[in-house]
Amino acid sequence: MAYMSKEHAKQIRDNLKKAFPDFKFSVKINHHSAISVSIMKSPLDFSKELADSVLDYVQLNEYHLEWYQHSEVLKKIRDIINEGNHDNSDYMTDYFDVGFYVNFNIGQFDKPYQQIK
């Protein structure tokens, strides 16, 4: 059963701060089974992704980060988020077994992403 503890979320937050000191992240737990990580401010230009979106934020597909600008940075962030996670799911038999679910965004629905110089 998927579970995200406060301690694990704090560890992810701390690891992201260490690895990306120029970035501002929002790290939240959703329903005790998922972690939602949003890049709120950074020196990176995500204008292409934001222009393609109808909203002021972008929900990233964590399985296909090569679709986005700065994909190498996004992959490093994803790897930090997924430390300690497992996925023993079998989609053919409709069996899902993950340590926790991940929601990865650029900005949030109520707070847009800001590029800092």
Both tokens of 15, joined, read 């690891």
For the chain, the domain total comes to 1
4 pLDDT exceeds 90? no
Residue 80 tokens read as 């930090």
- Residue 1 domain flag: no
Residue 87 counted as domain residue? yes
Q: How many CA atoms lie within 13 A of 10 on its CB side?
A: 3
Within a domain: 75: yes
Name which residue leads in pLDDT, 97 or 28.
28
b/e per residue 20-52 (b: at least 16 CB within 10 A) = beebebebebeeeebbbbbbbbbebebeebbee
Using the predicted structure, report yes or no on whether residue 1 has a pLDDT greater than 80: no
Determine the structural domain holding residue 59 and report its residue range. Answer: 6-115
pLDDT over 90 at 52, yes or no: no
- Asked whether residue 34 is domain-assigned, the answer is yes
Query: In the predicted model, is pLDDT for residue 103 greater than 80?
Result: yes
pLDDT band at 31 (very low <50, low <70, confident <90, very high): very high
